[in-house]
Chain A
């Protein structure tokens, strides 16, 4: 069964067309991530799925039922917000149980589900505290717990980790991945952090300007981007795009080479000068300005002694390069 199906969904705010003809299927138990730059419509799409905004046209189907006219509480979804959005006047227990109470579940069921979720999220000690007495990470776990207890058909996460600091973000990311494994629930996760997208997703949906650019597994998108936007969006540091520095490239075409596919060599295809060095310990990023005046990033594994100002030659395997035409679409038959 499909957890979610969107068919020709459009959304306009007045004259602003925010979502343009979105078609998407999310299978049962799938972890789907929406990525895209700020303002591309990720949150709006999530809110349309949740029922917090009505779609201007198109159908939204959750678990086999068309839900266009169903209020958010009856769609079988639960949502976790970026700002946690905990009820300030309720305790952790009250926050997690409110949805069930509104559904009219008996108290025994509520207590059981809340304590199960609290145990899963390591929140048992804080069960009687109010949100203002919790740390940011704990609040976000309460927000996740509030979603879990409702046992929804579909979980929606809107940038749940962006208010947490780096180390907490990694831990919570792992917790969410584990949660997905234990619950084997369908989840949709919005982020603009491509590491979260790559590590969590079964399926990534790349959005730009309210349109879906490409859908696929993280490795599919990484190895086989459909256009320059997707190629540049996934992977860190991001792909280098060159127009002039490589000989023999037709006018208007762009070559894309990932930083890890470039190597320092005595006799490479590209010549340039190092302008900046970032030593991360595990690997070293070199910023190089080519003789043709373009800037690119080279990722060298391990610790590299190259200094700023050094003249370097860069080599790459043409099989690893991507070619894009003037319309920024990928040229597929060009490689090798």
Chain B
């Protein structure tokens, strides 16, 4: 009896902590979204108030959509994020599999070399990257951004995934070999599904910084037709006047696609955890 009660108490305490944390984390998002539906005066007079009949206004969204290129920015961000994530996951998983599965000379050294990028921020190399992009003619293309983000994401992906792949049962891979599966099939059909939770983690970790990045789009792809959403939204932030309605609306809309991606990955995460594996 006592035990049951104390268990309930711990549950309540845990939930209280989690709910508090969620509220704190969601508060800025909440403020952005409600203010995006208010007119300019209401934003400043009563920043925390909900929009009512008097203050409700879609002026921000209208400005953003009238800006015209907004959907293009959106599309650019989406392309860059999705393609980079795909490449990071694909190449990261392949390198991780090779490091975890095969014995070859220099395996350890290779792993260390690939992990080195975790400690060295890629922005240190910005000038060199820009020079390379200029001489290869990739400036002002989405390809430039995709390449940089892939390079930036790979080290951590290889590191995390190879640890997980070492945990996949050898017997399972060997059973596949005896049944005549090729190494590719073993990788794609047997190993990848079992490390899905780790893949989802890597995806979530990489997605947010790529989506939100301002640095590389500003330097490598500032042209109008390849602007990403984050860069595109900067037009509303001026040195002297900032169109807060437009900025808040743009930010609110920018949240949506990330949320969709997150829901997809987290579902994978849960499915991966609950699918009974080997034993």
Most chain A beta-carbon neighbours within 10 Å: one of B193, B194, B276, B279: B279
B193 touches A81 (CB 8 A): no
SS class of chain B's interface: helix, strand, loop or mixed? helix
B121 interface residue, CB < 8 Å from A? Answer: no
A73 interface residue, CB < 8 Å from B? Answer: yes
Which of B177-185, B216-224, B236-244, B257-265 is near enough to bind chain A? B177-185
Contacts of B53 in A (CB 8 A): none
Cα A3 to Cα B54 in complex, Å, equals: 90
A131 interface residue, CB < 8 Å from B? Answer: yes
A138 interface residue, CB < 8 Å from B? Answer: no
Cα A146 to Cα B176 in complex, Å, equals: 11
Least Cβ distance of A279 to chain B in Å? 36
A24 interface residue, CB < 8 Å from B? Answer: no
When each residue 157-196 of chain A gets 1 if its CB lies under 8 Å from chain B and 0 otherwise, what string results? Answer: 0000001000000000000000000000000000000000
Interface Cβ pair total, 8 Å cutoff: 72
Contacts of A281 in B (CB 8 A): none
Contacts of B169 in A (CB 8 A): 83, 85
Cα A10 to Cα B9 in complex, Å, equals: 62
Cα A52 to Cα B102 in complex, Å, equals: 12
Which of B171, B178, B189, B275 makes the CB contact (< 8 A) with A72?
B178
Contacts of A85 in B (CB 8 A): 169, 171-172, 174-175, 278
Size category of the A interface is: 20 to 34
When each residue 223-235 of chain B gets 1 if its CB lies under 8 Å from chain A and 0 otherwise, what string results? Answer: 0000000000000
Least Cβ distance of B218 to chain A in Å? 44
Least Cβ distance of B15 to chain A in Å? 30
Least Cβ distance of B238 to chain A in Å? 55
Cα A246 to Cα B189 in complex, Å, equals: 64
Seen from chain B, the residues whose Cβ lies within 8 Å of a Cβ on chain A are 169, 171-172, 174-181, 189-190, 193-194, 275-279
Q: Give 9 A-B contacts (CB < 8 Å), ordered by A residue.
A: A72-B174, A73-B179, A78-B178, A83-B171, A84-B279, A86-B278, A87-B189, A102-B180, A131-B276
